[in-house]
Structure 1
Amino acid sequence: MRQRLAELRGPAVPAKALDARALAALAANPGCRRRALLDGAGVDKSALAQALGSPSGFGQSQFALVRGNAFEAKVKADGGAELLRLVHARLGGGPAPASPGPEGGADTAEVHTPDLTAAGPEGRSARTALALRDAAATRAWTLLDHPMLALDVAGSPAFLEPDAVVVHPDGRWTVVEIKSFPMIDGSADEGKVGSAARQAAVYALALQQVAGRLDPAPPVGHEVVLVCPKDFSNQPTAAVVDVRKQLSVTRRQLGRLTRIEDIAAALPEGTTFDVERSPDELGRAVESVPAAYAPECLAACELAFHCRDRSRTEGEVTSLGRSVRGELGALTTVEDVLAAARGEAGDPDDPVVAALRRAAALRAQALEGAACR
């Protein structure tokens, strides 16, 4: 299967790793086989969109990345002392973690920061699993800085790298998300917090898989710690976010994804998404995999502009939004909807068709009244 996926992205093209942001978007649209296959095969969708002539501006700006990296470095300075202080203040879990150096008092607990260095994502994920097992046995404060977690997605492993995972002396494992958007008067932008919660839920799901392989399985907290700048300063503050809902949704949606090998098996022989191929050949390859475009894709997928253009060209009602598509039942194109509204097609006993014809009649009456005035 790995050889087949390598052929799909091109023999000389390295696989683009899945991250939690991509998995959260994938889970939000499980019906899109195109995204499932491209992400599972490690295809660089930004490069593919550029080659198709539909480049997307999706992604973080360079300024945001630099600012985020600088803030994360500040939070994790001195062996993660401030990060652990914030986690202990919000969630407890044992005696206060000791500060680095001689200032740690007798009433504080030792902190472990294991080395997670290894070759490749498989090696790093194995090293992370070993460090978590050791931490579960020692029951001490343990800070895992950028651990590597493996999560099975539609039959293919995705390697994920959370900002940090903290093991408490009471045995709990907690995901920590560090973001550079501000938390003003104790609250942050609702949309950004929601996005961070969905990403953290993916990490927590992967962490649960690691915990499930231990006996007894350590509890993975459904409360994650979100660390952000306080007000308009660069000082870190933290809030606890309950991700039980996001965990449930992510688990259910990822479980609904069609297995990648099943999608790949249905492709025409010789299909490839190698960006060195001609735009026409790439276009045929992309269109050979069914998509499920919706306007929400514009904020989550690099191929959204391409899929939107095709959706509009084919008159698909999904281009109007998932809620509209759900209301229209078996009518999948705009032309079908208009024909049903005009009485040229459709079963008059169908409630959707009857509602469309009623709406068309009311519109005609309104326009006639306006013309008479």
Structure 2
Amino acid sequence: MSSYPPSGPPPTTTLRQRLADLRGPAVPPRPLDARAIAALAANPGCRRRALLDGAGVDKNALASALGSPAAFGQSQFAIVRGNSFEAKVKGDGGAELLRLVHEHLGTGAAEPPGPGALVPDLTAAGPEGRAARTALALREATAAGAWTLLDHPMLALEVAGTPAYLEPDAVVVHPDGRWTVVEIKSFPLLDGAADPAKVGAAARQAAVYVLALEKTAAKVPDAEVGHTVLLVCPKDFSNQPAAAPVDIRRERAVTRRQLRRLTGVEELAAALPEGLGFDPARPAEELAEAVAAVPAAYAPECLAACELAFHCRERARAADEVSALGRSVRGELGALTTVEQALAAAAGAGSPEDPTAAALQRAARLRAEALEASACRC
């Protein structure tokens, strides 16, 4: 995929029907969100996920039908708590949220936004209509030169050849024409800092929103998308909102590069044998055959980001793939793709001229010497 405009032409009728056949006749498409796109961009070599996400397959239902259900996701309590906190942050016309944006990112604005800031109505029919309404609201807010809060706008981004519609928590338009993405999370800011892993995940998610906004901003005079997003979380152990700016330039660059590397869903669908599909109502044997027909790129990191991770891990282990040990190990072993090959090379079966085999043999000798020394001390 060479480029990804914010809204491209819809898939052709033939491709749309093909993707519907892959999902199953009675299965509605599962829309991509920013979290899924960020996870997909983190593993662009996984054609399996690219096809399933592009076709709108419900990977959670598919994993359950395969006998390897996913074991991650937010609890219902966490979802309710998050929704309650977001409502508090956006209350009173978003006055508190806009105050936080002005406090942390309002450089150059003489007046802080008040309750009278603009909050345009983004209601429209369907995701395409909402995306068009959001683009119009962004254009009008930039031309007006006033603080504007877009509550749950709809953005469009093409991923692997198919359009995805994304819904950030909020986008704020500054009087100077800057657009700021706001991420509202329910994990706490303790003494002004949050869990680095959670902040990193939020930054990768926000980078997807920024990429989608940039294409819209390119068509709006005086508009600029800020590469610093605002993370809003509860302060310490209270329910009071606090905020921290997060620079996502690195995450944006990585996500943009990885999205360019994704293989188009049309090409992936064309390579799948006729008759195979991912309808969870099919027998498990047929589903396993269909999933196996699409190459995967499993790594342990998938366990925290993909519903099919347990199934892929089981198959990777059964095939003795070194990828099950992690991307770093896979990269170090080069042409050695199975654990058996690596062990054989460490035992001396590999050519001494092969640097990978030589390194494994040296590591095996050092391990043997260390075990021998430990036994002598005992």
The count of residues paired between Structure 1 and Structure 2 equals 362
The answer to whether the aligner puts 1:269 opposite 2:283 as a matched pair is no
Q: Any conservation in 2 of the 1:15–1:43 contact (CA below 8 Å)?
A: yes
For residues 178-209 of structure 1, give each alpha carbon's deviation from its aligned partner in whole angstroms, at most 9, with x where no partner exists. Answer: 01111111111111111111111111111111
Q: Which residue of 2 aligns with 1:232?
A: 237
For residues 66-86 of structure 1, give each alpha carbon's deviation from its aligned partner in whole angstroms, at most 9, with x where no partner exists. Answer: 000000000001110110111
Could you tell me how far apart the structure 2 residues matched to 1:172 and 1:307 are? 43
Q: Moved runs in structure 1, 4+ residues, more than 6 A?
A: none
- What amino acid does structure 2 have at the position aligned with 1:340? A
Q: Which residue of 2 aligns with 1:167?
A: 173
SS in 1 for 2:229: strand
Q: Which residue of 2 aligns with 1:121?
A: 127
Could you tell me how far apart the structure 2 residues matched to 1:162 and 1:61 are? 20
Which of 349, 353, 359 is matched with 1:349 structurally?
A: 353
Which of 76, 81, 104 is matched with 1:67 structurally?
A: 81
Q: Which residue of 2 aligns with 1:333?
A: 338
Q: Which residue of 1 aligns with 2:283?
A: 278
Q: CA deviation at 1:363?
A: 3.3
Q: 1:113 to 1:311 in 2, by over 3 A?
A: same
Q: 1:113 to 1:330 in 2, by over 3 A?
A: same
The answer to whether the aligner puts 1:256 opposite 2:261 as a matched pair is yes
Q: Any conservation in 2 of the 1:174–1:223 contact (CA below 8 Å)?
A: yes
Q: Which residue of 2 aligns with 1:105?
A: none
Unaligned runs of 5+ in 2: 1-14
Q: Any conservation in 1 of the 2:145–2:175 contact (CA below 8 Å)?
A: yes
Structure 1 residues 88-167: aligned runs within 5 Å:
88-92=102-106, 93-100=108-115, 110-167=116-173
Q: Any conservation in 2 of the 1:85–1:96 contact (CA below 8 Å)?
A: no
The answer to whether the aligner puts 1:196 opposite 2:202 as a matched pair is yes
Q: CA deviation at 1:53?
A: 0.2
Q: 1:335 to 1:217 in 2, by over 3 A?
A: farther
Which of 45, 67, 89 is matched with 1:53 structurally?
A: 67
SS in 2 for 1:111: coil
Q: Which residue of 2 aligns with 1:359?
A: 363
Q: Which residue of 1 aligns with 2:7?
A: none
For residues 94-133 of structure 1, give each alpha carbon's deviation from its aligned partner in whole angstroms, at most 9, with x where no partner exists. Answer: 2435533xxxxxxxxx521111111111111111111111
Percent identity (aligned):
74
Could you tell me how far apart the structure 2 residues matched to 1:99 and 1:370 are? 70
Q: Any conservation in 1 of the 2:142–2:222 contact (CA below 8 Å)?
A: no
Could you tell me how far apart the structure 2 residues matched to 1:370 and 1:77 are? 65
Given the two structures, how large is their TM-score scaled by the length of structure 1? 0.94
Q: CA deviation at 1:360?
A: 2.4
Given the two structures, how large is their TM-score scaled by the length of structure 2? 0.93
Superposition CA RMSD, Å: 1.5
SS in 1 for 2:32: coil
Q: Which residue of 1 aligns with 2:192?
A: 186
